[in-house]
Amino acid sequence: MVVSMLKLPAIVPSTSKSDISLSVKVDTNAYEQWRSNIHRELEEDLQRQVEQLLEESERQERLSKLQRQYRRTGQCPPLQQADTVDKWSEIDRRNARVLHPLNSKNSFTAQKRLSTYYQFEKNSNKSFYFNSYHSYRSRRRSSQPTDDQNCMSPTMYLNKYMNKASSVPPINNNLSFVFGNSIIKSNKAEVLNIFEQKFAKGDKSNIYVDKNGVIITEDGPFWPDNYRILHPTPKLLSRELLQDEFNLSSSTSNVINQQTYDNQPAIYKYIETIKHPIIIYDMDKTARNQQIKPPDNEHMCPQLIFESRFEGGNLRQVKRVGQFEYELVLRPDLNTRRHTQWYHFRVQNMIANITYRFRIINLMKKSSLYNDGMQILLFSGVGAKKESRGWNRVGHHINYSEYKSRSYNPLLERDINYYELDFQFEFTHSGDTCYIAHCYPYTYTDLKDDLEYLSKIRPSEIFRRDILCESQAGNSCFIITVTDEAVPINKKKFVFISARIHPGETNSSFMMRGLLEYITSNDKTAQKLRTQLVFKIIPMLNPDGVIIGNYRCSLTGKDKNRNFRHPRKQTFPIIYHMKELVQKLQKEQREILAFCDLHGHSRKLNVFAYGCDGCDGAEPDMKNFLDARVLPFIMSKTAPDMFSFDFCKFHIHRCKESTGRVVMWKEMLIKNSFTLEASFAGSNIV
């Protein structure tokens, strides 16, 4: 609205009373005229807006009637011309339910202005047909009635069913995902468009390799547009973990505050000093293909090459501050300033048997198991090929302490107290490709591979893989059902198990991996469990955070495990649908025997559980007190070298009332509701 500005008459000072009275009168009349003009224009503008809303409402009603008519007759609606080519207004009109029928919630504005058939270009003869897109996803997912359909690999599913499907119009590649008032754009629309083009050409493969070599399927991985993944997902699950890696020996304790090097004879060869810190890697600025720069002279040690722009990586910046010393800054969780504890990055161009010193300077927790003997994890590419070695614990002179700034770094916040991880280690092979991590990495791609493997080797009568919903970025959230279908379901109880709600707690995925392999095996105990129970398992509650390398939060910068009480459908779709599934089973009078959420712990040793006894009042219920402790006590007797009953806690703190275990116990009335914690370091139980 444009309001014309009226020029008020100038007030000339006067000493006479008559002149003053006249000037005030003129000024008052001008002000009244100006105010009346403002009110009139506001009323006219409001009237125009009301008329536009009424016209839009009538148009929506006509389109809805036409759509119902075409559905009844089975005809395809005629193509329509777009009202406008404005990108953002059309995104608002489209709304999330078009792309995420399981996740999204129509916002008030988008619901009013939703355009059922949308054309992307003004002069184009093609339109985006919503029903075609939805039926395409349904055909790809679960439209055909078959018992083992969800256990098929995507390739088998396409070969069996897609020949019967009609052609689908191509999807425009500038789609976005809209959730309420926020817009989260990801690369999923572009990938789906490519799948459509491949399918139109007769190529039924569900695998797409992008220009950077990242392998993407219809389920993911997908990531936000403002995040870059420039390298393929590393395949680092080379072997099973050994038993002794979980036992922490006192002999591995670190020497605190000793910053020494053992670089003989290299210390005599590389004697050049670095006068100023040099930024050698930046997540936002460094080119994808980094060139190996030869040293300026023979007295300068070759520079290490860092990279973390792959699935699960989170290295933000690296400075070289000495011949063998590097200062590292981690990227905080997306849309936060904090939550930096997980790290995973690649290192190249090293020289063997030289002691390097790394300092990660922006960690957040006040204490860490590094001061209790935990070491750094390193994976050597050469060692894996020649010696069949996988991840190994390395490092010495490891110290975790409060960071004391030595120089200004714009990536660090002035009002936050950071902590520094200082460690030294040696590479075994020169010119190797090594990965360094806080804990054994387990990516979304690793999960897909594991589930694909299990679906091939396990019969469909005991193992079924479905999709609960899709995440904010469009990644599929898998839900696994394990039971013996030969036994009627009305005789069974349900058990819910979930993991990886915190992306950086990768050890929870390895617990989940072992659980899935065991309860689907031919072991007699596993067979008996399948005849009596139905396991509903969600192996990864936060796939978006796992893909982009977050430590704790989702894409919105919120901790999912603090939002179980009132999860918004558009903000926490996986938690929302998980609770809906539990409520649905309870309405069907299905008994849920237990709920267990798998986690990792960075400051305690051993495996232990958090439960709910509700014994906080003056007169605690002894039955509830004992019931909450039965399963943890049994676990301590079953695995006495791993599980510590003394570390278990059952009191409900106020800050934990929105966590999964408390909500499932208090709101869903699941008596056995636990959080199972596993240490990042291992066990010290002798």
pLDDT of residue 661: 95
User: Could you write out the three-class secondary structure of 538-556?
Assistant: ECCCCHHHHHHCCCCCCCC
* 272 and 362 together in one domain: yes
pLDDT of residue 250: 43
End-to-end Cα spacing for the chain: 77
The mean pLDDT value of the chain amounts to 79
Q: Does residue 234 belong to any structural domain of this protein? A: no
Q: Does residue 42 belong to any structural domain of this protein? A: yes
Q: Which residue has the higher pLDDT, 537 or 623?
A: 537
State which amino acid sits at residue 494: F
* 463 and 548 together in one domain: yes
- The answer to which of 23-32, 133-142, 661-670 has the lowest mean pLDDT is 133-142
pLDDT of residue 603: 92
* 504 and 650 together in one domain: yes
* 495 and 405 together in one domain: no
Q: Does residue 230 belong to any structural domain of this protein? A: no
pLDDT of residue 40: 79
Report the candidate in 624, 620, 612 with the shortest Cα–Cα distance to residue 657: 612
3-state secondary structure (DSSP) of residue 42: helix
Residues marked active site are found at 677
Q: Which residue has the higher pLDDT, 5 or 171?
A: 5
Q: By percentage, how much of the chain surpasses pLDDT 70?
A: 74
* 468 and 453 together in one domain: yes
Q: Does residue 572 belong to any structural domain of this protein? A: yes
Q: Does residue 81 belong to any structural domain of this protein? A: no
Report residue 29 as tokens. 């009349």
Of 437, 463, 488, the residue at which a domain comes to its end is 437
Q: How far is CA 73 from the centre of its chain?
A: 43
* 433 and 449 together in one domain: no
**Spatial CB neighbours of 427, under 8 Å, sequence gap ≥ 6:** 347, 350, 351, 352, 353, 354, 356, 380, 434
Q: Which residue has the higher pLDDT, 130 or 667?
A: 667
Rounded distance, CA 263 to CA 322, Å? 13
Give the residue-averaged pLDDT of 212-217.
93
Of 410, 437, 464, the residue at which a domain comes to its end is 437
State the residue range of the domain holding 139. 87-209
* 462 and 520 together in one domain: yes
Sorting pLDDT into bands at 50, 70 and 90, what band is 74?
low
Domain containing residue 346: CATH number: 2.60.40.3120
Q: Does residue 458 belong to any structural domain of this protein? A: yes
pLDDT tens, 321-330?
999 999 999 9
* 492 and 551 together in one domain: yes
Rounded distance, CA 534 to CA 178, Å? 35
Question: 408 burial class (0-12, 13-18, 19+ CB within 10 angstroms)?
Answer: exposed
pLDDT tens, 591-613?
999 999 999 999 999 999 999 98
pLDDT tens, 6-31?
444 444 444 444 554 555 555 667 77
pLDDT of residue 271: 72
Q: Which residue has the higher pLDDT, 237 or 145?
A: 237
* 620 and 661 together in one domain: yes
Q: What angle do CA 272, 277, 278 make, to 5 degrees?
A: 95
Rounded distance, CA 483 to CA 467, Å? 17
Report residue 410 as tokens. 């714009």
* 488 and 601 together in one domain: yes
SS3 content of the chain, % helix, strand, coil (to 5): 35, 20, 50
Q: Which residue has the higher pLDDT, 232 or 46?
A: 232
Domain count, the chain: 4
Of 45, 75, 105, the residue at which a domain comes to its end is 75
Domain containing residue 580: CATH number: 3.40.630.10
Q: Are strands 672-679 and 607-610 parallel, antiparallel or unpaired?
A: antiparallel
User: Could you write out the three-class secondary structure of 360-400?
Assistant: EEEECCCCCHHHHCCCEEEEEHHHHHHCCCCEEEECEEEEE
Give the residue-averaged pLDDT of 27-42.
74
pLDDT of residue 78: 56
Question: 588 burial class (0-12, 13-18, 19+ CB within 10 angstroms)?
Answer: exposed
Res 338 pLDDT > 60: yes
Res 304 pLDDT > 60: yes
pLDDT tens, 374-391?
999 999 999 999 988 889
pLDDT tens, 544-595?
999 999 999 999 999 999 999 999 998 999 999 999 999 999 999 999 999 9
**Spatial CB neighbours of 483, under 8 Å, sequence gap ≥ 6:** 462, 489, 492, 530, 533, 534, 535
Report residue 136 as tokens. 């395409």
Q: Are strands 493-499 and 533-538 parallel, antiparallel or unpaired?
A: parallel
pLDDT of residue 216: 94
pLDDT of residue 618: 64
* Distances from the Cα of 108 to the Cα of 2, 111, 115, 179, 573, angstroms: 27, 5, 14, 11, 18
Res 312 pLDDT > 50: yes
pTM above 0.85, yes or no: no
pLDDT tens, 493-550?
999 999 999 999 999 999 999 999 999 999 999 999 999 999 999 999 999 999 999 9
* 544 and 664 together in one domain: yes
Q: Does residue 214 belong to any structural domain of this protein? A: no
Q: Which residue has the higher pLDDT, 392 or 33?
A: 392
* 17 and 162 together in one domain: no
Q: Does residue 561 belong to any structural domain of this protein? A: yes
Rounded distance, CA 539 to CA 517, Å? 12
Q: By percentage, how much of the chain surpasses pLDDT 90?
A: 55
* Distances from the Cα of 215 to the Cα of 212, 222, 417, 475, 539, angstroms: 9, 10, 39, 14, 21
